[in-house]
Structure 1
């Protein structure tokens, strides 16, 4: 994985050469002379790549953990008392504290489960948004434009990982990666349950067992950025988004044509799904999300479960579709944050769970993948019809020339007429959304 960690200075092996180099280099930078033992903290820095020098960070007894390709952002570990000096280094635009981001399941995920493989059922949420009405037309999330055997639509699920060999998921998981405390690995196995559950709602396979997902043939990138306790950090989320956009080949735009989402030559996902959130996100989180959005990637996130007047972050960003929850009666539970963009089923949702099992969970976490899967269906239908992908669009779109516009005008109106604080534009309707996306 060394190839994806950039910005780390490689130094020669000759000790004398190192010593001479440091004599001339270190005096150019501020030097932190205090004790670093047990005092390091992780910060997120917005940088000017042309001026930023990792050796200056090392002179402060710090370490550059990761430098993103997607946006000018660096994750840095540094003694707490040296943060002020860090912010004054050449090429450092600003420095933000790290923070905690959580899985948005409510109540907390269940444990255990029935390990038998039950006959396949259609979860009520999939039925509610009419996703099953899309499939007979051949729109299931899979489309191969250039005939190379690889699908052109991928959904990157950034969460607690996934149960890699779950019989209802394994066939759709094409790549996975994990980041924890800045360390990148291939160990994306889910030991919590949340990520496996969310992934199942997007893409559980139509295979006569368990459940079936909204886009049951779509390819999944499993990106583990939350730990086994269901929480992680903003810094790891920044890295996770950067890794997700690069995809398996580790390159943002492999053919250099400026087209990323939907390009058969590139590995970027067309949808990023994040059933997670927190408060007071650093500016760098917004920077990395804007960069992904500018590449044509549709980003979907949970509105949050605090009963608050507005969505949590990253759902609160204007580039992100914030998803609120409804129950089987179409009512918004009291804990679903207000002012989402759209609403979707999020109460007592049956989906896949670790150890080849199934569980019912609730939360805006569960609502989010219904929308992510719907976006995958929209984009797959477009490509299958010989049409280009729709751009993500904006919060206020009400025409059929963007993903968000399609979702807005086809959502089932609920609550007060038009946009309202409980349902946003309404409850997502996958069938109407797909039909509108291909017919205009």
Structure 2
């Protein structure tokens, strides 16, 4: 993987540490080939991750420029899914002149494949694991890699995310996609709230109601983070599908709760529902994304729909930065959904309706 140096950068020999021997430095604009993996090492300016080249030289990760995303002008079925086509994302990227640059999405999940060619350069150096070694947020389950790819896969290899220019803060809170220790998820939220660069938090796990989790959500809201969470798949929870089903953190105040719809615009049968549901986004079982071992594959469910919504909001925030508030961007999404309910307005089965990114853009 090739990286471009942002500032003068020392080449450290044999050890990822600022105290390791250095016999040369790289000037801004220099290119260096690294193996694509992030290594935990000495901390400098609150960043403790490093890259390594084939000669066992280490480079502080904070010294590199953000990778420039080259986007196509037309839909590419080899690297995009039906959601890209539905909203004509290549046109939107070029019309807005952004793919999410300057926006960071925290992905609280099972980690991410740190070697994936479409993700490695997107991962924020402050990423962290709350399971075991804090510096090892590599994904062994696959769920987190799937979510990260939907949001921000670069498209340089196999897959384009919705916002391929957005940064990804990977927060590993569980080894497995089906829940985990709710206290670790609360810690991950608390951590994300304190990272100034984070704009959006994508949360695709359903958990039980918990005081610490609720408090962490409140902190995120107070610090200006937009939390987007999956309403849940009925097949994945122990209680029957229906309007009395509360899933968390989606059902807390100040969280955008997401269900799923299919290419025909129909509600996905397993998408949960209740009065807290805000809207539906692409999330059947045929959404293309990144998978483990530098792969590509298909996923679905309200988890996918949540990540897709996070990517869409990242595009809106990037285009509106310095001009329009986050609240107005959220309102643009809410007010332009395609209403498919039996009555006009929000309902418990489909929320406000189907996400309509193109209409939301014209609203701003």
Match of 2:202 in 1: 273
Partner of 1:422: 349
Tell me the equivalent position of 1:287: 215
- Distance apart, 1:228 and its partner CA: 3.8
Match of 1:164 among 103, 114, 122: 114
Equivalent pair of 1:126/1:370 in contact (CA under 8 Å): no
Gap regions ≥5 residues in structure 1: 1-117, 143-150, 248-265, 392-401
Following superposition, the deviation at residue 413 of structure 1 comes to 1.9
Query: How many residues end up aligned between the 2 structures?
Result: 276
For the structure 1 residues 140 and 314, does the alpha-carbon distance in structure 2 shift closer, same or farther, using more than 3 Å as the test? same
Counterpart mapping for 1:32-431 below 5 A: 120-137=78-95, 138-142=97-101, 151=102, 153-175=103-125, 176-180=127-131, 183=132, 185-207=134-156, 209-228=157-176, 230-247=178-195, 266-267=196-197, 269-279=198-208, 281-306=209-234, 307-309=241-243, 310-339=245-274, 340-348=277-285, 349-383=287-321, 386-391=322-327, 402-416=328-342, 417-431=344-358
Alignment partner of 2:326: what SS? coil
* Separation of aligned partners in 1, 2:185 and 2:164: 26
Residue deviations 1:342-401, cap 9 Å, x none?
101111222100101112122100110111111111111111xx415323xxxxxxxxxx
- 1:145-178 deviations in Å (ceiling 9; x for gaps): xxxxxx3x10000000000121111221123210
Residue 404 (structure 1) shift: 2.9
What TM-score do you get using the length of structure 1 for normalisation? 0.60
Query: Which residue of the partner structure matches residue 73 of structure 1?
Result: none
Instruction: Report if the CA contact (8 A) 2:179-2:206 is conserved.
Output: no
After superposition, the Cα gap between the structure-2 partners of 1:291 and 1:229, relative to the gap in structure 1 and judged at 3 Å, is closer
Show CA shifts across 1:260-283 (max 9, x none): xxxxxx33x10000000123x112
Q: Distance in 1 between matches of 2:341 and 2:90?
A: 25
Partner of 1:270, secondary structure, is strand
Q: Deviation per CA, 1:253-308, whole angstroms, max 9, x where unpaired?
A: xxxxxxxxxxxxx33x10000000123x1122111101111111110000001133
1:31-55 CA-partner distances (Å, limit 9, x unpaired): xxxxxxxxxxxxxxxxxxxxxxxxx
Q: CA 1:197 to 1:288, structure 2 compared with 1: closer, same or farther past 3 Å? A: same
1:128–1:345 contact (8 Å) kept in structure 2: no
Quick check: 1:132–1:214 contact (8 Å CA) kept in 2?
Answer: no
Q: Which has the higher contact order (CA 8 A, sep 6+)?
A: 1
1:161, 1:224 within 8 Å by CA — same for their partners in 2? Answer: yes
- What stretches of structure 1 move > 4 A for 4+ residues in a row? none
Residues 162 and 196 in structure 1, CA contact (< 8 A), matched pair in contact too: yes
What SS is found at the alignment partner of 2:224? coil
Change (3 A) 1:185 1:387: same
When the two structures are superposed, what TM-score results if normalisation uses the length of structure 2?
0.72
Residues 169 and 286 from structure 1, CA distance in 2 versus in 1: closer, same or farther, beyond 3 angstroms?
Answer: same
- Aligned residue for 1:378, secondary structure, equals helix
Deviations 1:195-237 (A, max 9, x none): 0011111001132x32211111100000000114643211001
Match of 2:18 in 1: none
Greater shift, 122-131 or 341-350, is seen at: 122-131
3-state SS of paired residue (1:223): strand
Equivalent pair of 2:206/2:248 in contact (CA under 8 Å): yes
Counterpart contact for 1:130–1:429, Cα < 8 Å:
no
Cα distance between partner residues in 2 of 1:410 and 1:119: 27
> Max radius of gyration: which structure?
1
Structure 2: unaligned runs, 5 residues or longer: 1-75, 235-240
RMSD of the alignment, in Å? 1.9
